[in-house]
Chains A and B, each alone.
Chain A
């Protein structure tokens, strides 16, 4: 056992850090520092820089455009991205649909979709949840009926993240209503410009337009856009969920979040001292860091297991639960730290407006972020469902 990185790993770390410092778009950095809301182009600008370098899809096999990094290098890379507070690479294409396509797709599907996912030319969204199918995803009712070499799809999806920007979506649809619910589901890739698709915004607690309802009315989808066999969509979905959960611990981002709170707490005053000297606040920060370290080393153990050839198993539910709890606690502490200036609400106030002069910059997003991050214990399988998975799959209950 050894907790230290090898010389090669350290060299890689230096290279990664230098690359980010040299190539992160300065305009994007400035917008982030002003606490501005980020849009499609903001995410894509960084995506394109990494795509050009060949580093945008660290987890992909080399043959499809991955950099061929080891699990440790991938870990270092995600740490460096978080350390530099870069905008995230959106997961729907790179981390979600692509692994399904290169694992279960045909040669034609790989050639058609993977390069455009890599380059950022296609923006993807995920059509999974339905109003009646949340935690119980397998009860989904969006129907796909075969008509010659097409499926005709009817139904409604919800919580579809950033579908308003999407060129393509991957959808779970019902192709068979007999038998067990899991056995009648297929995995379709749908062009979001197909006639019959309507995307309607859902505004969330912090005022964001992040998620949508997607209505499908007689949407004709070519059969060659089905991944894997008909009625085998649940296999793809389970595979994808396991992939989704490994990144969900968010250790590196949370470390960055802790540092950000410390910076706020050094600036905020509490009587004759900075807030960071307040014993209550310090104790909560310390507890948070202890829990974050526990999460980090649990993730590293999982990672080591993966490197030794074990796929991510139901243990990743632990990473999801603890990871999201920590992310939420960070936003709680941030909101506590900013005090009175958590209350002002600036959505709809443009640049040059009086919003620029009210309170410190770091306070501006504290409350909306706190509200928004409540989603993390709900999405990707709620934390209650994750506990059921551990109870059943790990403890055998």
Chain B
């Protein structure tokens, strides 16, 4: 039994934390989020070159640091503490995860580009009718012109406006919700026939609805076997879910910390509101939610290498618990702040909004409880 981080992981955490404090404080975030592009490309470039952290979970053979899921956890937690909007989840965890799982020439070519900060990948998986079912796909890929032709509509693709590449799920066979027939493509984002509608999201990111209109993609864009990619997609989404759990740990920890500070300093009825027992107990309940979120995130992250069913059960347990923590800690952070917590001016509301979006990301509490039940409780 060992829950200690390696020296490299400690250094990763400290370096990233310091960098974000110095370069992406709340006022800076506010300006960047409101800008035309909604991001500061210099931050991403600095993560790649100055800090060298984009290679954290990649093999040394690809130019990475040789780490894995725990390194992703460390990075995501720190990004959460700063409510950073860098597309690390989409590019490194998901895009990189899919490339690592599939291997081959495409991985050899693209992973070094990710590490260098030159490639940004967005994950186009969700569809308007699909909710959280990864196999529920209407987007199709048909063979033609020596490659594939894509048609369909992907919903709310985070980071798509910034992306150089899209990781796309599409059907090459099978019925709308069948496991067989799901294929995965990694394509250049600017290909003809890809139409994006871009918009900001409530939690400060940019996203797009992406339409494929007879978009021709090359044959070698296929990742994993034709029609047999669902296991890779499920694995990558489980890894991504564990990563947003880690982000949530950072977000909820900051929500708790800032609420504690505020309660100590805010005076009503002649004393600090932190003196009232009803608020002390609430702050304790929030603390316990954060601690359990951390425990569940570690548990799930350390089980990502287990066989699919065990991995899925662990991740769904974690996400169910973390989703509840996001809601409880977020709502009570606003409540204890009172009116001032409702304002756009204070950081706490922006942490609350990110926490709220994490609740639903890759599946709601209900979804993950249902998945856990189905996997583990025999009727």
Complex interface: stretch among B8-16, B85-93, B353-361: B353-361
At the interface, yes or no: B202 with Cβ under 8 Å from chain A?
Answer: yes
Q: Which residues of A contact B198 (CB under 8 A)?
A: 354
Given A158-B339, A280-B369, CB of A269 within 8 Å of CB of B202: no
The answer, among A132, A135, A205, A382, for a CB contact under 8 Å with B349, is A205
Within 8 A of A (CB), among B340-368: 341-345, 349, 352-353, 356-357, 360, 364, 366
CB-based contact A349/B129 at 8 Å: no
Q: For A136, list chain B residues within 8 Å (CB).
A: 268-270
Please tell me if the beta carbons of B338 and A382 are within 8 angstroms of each other in the complex: yes
Q: Is A271's CB under 8 angstroms from B177's CB?
A: yes
Interface residues in A335-378 (C-beta closer than 8 Å to B) = 335-336, 339-346, 349, 354-355, 357-359, 367-368, 370-371, 374-375, 377-378
A342 near B360: Cβ-Cβ < 8 Å: yes
Nearest-neighbour CB distance to chain A for B33, whole angstroms, equals 10
Asked if A345 and B202 make an inter-chain contact with CB atoms under 8 angstroms apart, the answer reads yes
Residue among B158, B269, B343 with max Cβ neighbours from chain A (10 Å): B343
B126 interface contact, C-beta 8 A: yes
Given A159-B339, A203-B344, A343-B203, A269 and B353 touching (CB < 8 A)?
no
Contact A343 B357, beta carbon cutoff 8 Å: yes
* Residue B199 lies at the interface, judged by CB distance under 8 Å to chain A: yes
Task: Specify which of A135, A280, A343, A377 is in contact with B201 (CB 8 Å cutoff).
Answer: A343
Q: Which residues of A contact B128 (CB under 8 A)?
A: 340-341, 359
Type the 1/0 row for B136-169, where 1 means its CB is closer than 8 Å to any CB of A.
1000000000000000000110100000000000
Residues of B within 8 A of A54 (CB): none
- Which of B207, B276, B338, B343 is A344 in contact with, Cβ under 8 Å? B207
Closest residue on chain A to residue B369 by CB atoms: A280
**Contact of B131 (CB < 8 Å), options: A129, A268, A358, A382:** A268
Closest residue on chain A to residue B197 by CB atoms: A354
**B349 to A340, Cβ gap below 8 A?**
no
The size class of the interface chain B forms with chain A is 35 or more
In Å, the complex CA distance between A278 and B370 comes to 10
Q: A341-B156, A384-B279 are in contact. Are A368 and B339 (CB under 8 A)?
A: no
User: Complex formed: what's the CA distance from A341 to B370 in Å?
Assistant: 21
Q: Do B342 and A342 have beta carbons less than 8 Å apart?
A: no
Residues of A within 8 A of B369 (CB): 280
Q: Which residues 243-300 of A have a CB within 8 angstroms of B? A: 268-272, 275, 278, 280-281
* Chain A residue with Cβ nearest B269: A136
**Cα distance A379–B345 in the bound complex, in angstroms:** 18
B21 touches A (CB below 8 Å):
no
B335 within 8 A of A: yes
Contact residues in B for A139 (Cβ distance below 8 Å): 268-269
- Chain B residues lying within 8 Å of A202, measured Cβ to Cβ, are 343, 345
B177, A272: Cβ atoms under 8 Å?
Answer: yes
Contact A339 B360 (CB under 8 A): yes
Cβ of B133 within 8 Å of any chain A Cβ, yes or no, is: yes
Q: Is A177 an interface residue (CB 8 A)?
A: no
Taking a contact as CB atoms under 8 Å apart, the answer to whether A358 and B197 are in contact is: yes
Q: Are A336 and B364 in contact (CB under 8 A)?
A: yes
Cβ–Cβ < 8 Å partners of B199 in chain A: 344-346, 349, 354-355, 358
Query: Of B267, B269, B338, B342, which is in contact with the most chain A CB atoms at under 10 Å from its CB?
Result: B342
Q: Does B278 contact A (CB under 8 A)?
A: yes
Per the bound structure, the CA–CA distance linking A280 and B102 in Å amounts to 36
**Given known A271-B177, A344-B207, contact A374–B331 (CB-CB < 8 A):** yes
Q: Is A207 an interface residue (CB 8 A)?
A: yes
A204 proximal to B (CB < 8 A): yes
A355: chain B residues within 8 A (beta carbon): 199
Are B268 and A135 within 8 A (Cβ)? yes
A105 close to B (CB within 8 Å): no
**Residue B19 at the chain A interface, CB threshold 8 Å:** no
Instruction: State whether B200 touches A339 (Cβ < 8 A).
Output: no
B132 within 8 A of A: yes
A59 at interface by CB-CB < 8 Å: no
- A269/B129 in contact, CB under 8 A: yes
- Is A341's CB under 8 angstroms from B201's CB? no
A207–B344 CB distance below 8 A: yes
A134 near B: Cβ within 8 Å?
yes
Instruction: List the 3 closest A-B pairs by CB distance, nearest first.
Output: A136-B268, A280-B366, A203-B344
Q: List 25 A-B contacts (CB under 8 A).
A: A134-B339, A204-B349, A205-B342, A205-B343, A205-B352, A211-B339, A280-B369, A332-B327, A335-B360, A339-B132, A340-B156, A343-B156, A343-B360, A344-B200, A345-B202, A354-B197, A355-B199, A357-B209, A359-B209, A367-B202, A367-B357, A374-B335, A377-B335, A383-B335, A384-B276
Residues of B within 8 A of A (CB): 126, 128-133, 136, 155-156, 158, 177, 197-203, 207, 209, 267-270, 276, 278-279, 327, 331, 334-335, 338-339, 341-345, 349, 352-353, 356-357, 360, 364, 366, 369-370
Binding site for B on A (CB under 8 A): 129, 132, 134-136, 139, 158-159, 202-205, 207, 211, 268-272, 275, 278, 280-281, 332, 335-336, 339-346, 349, 354-355, 357-359, 367-368, 370-371, 374-375, 377-379, 382-384, 387
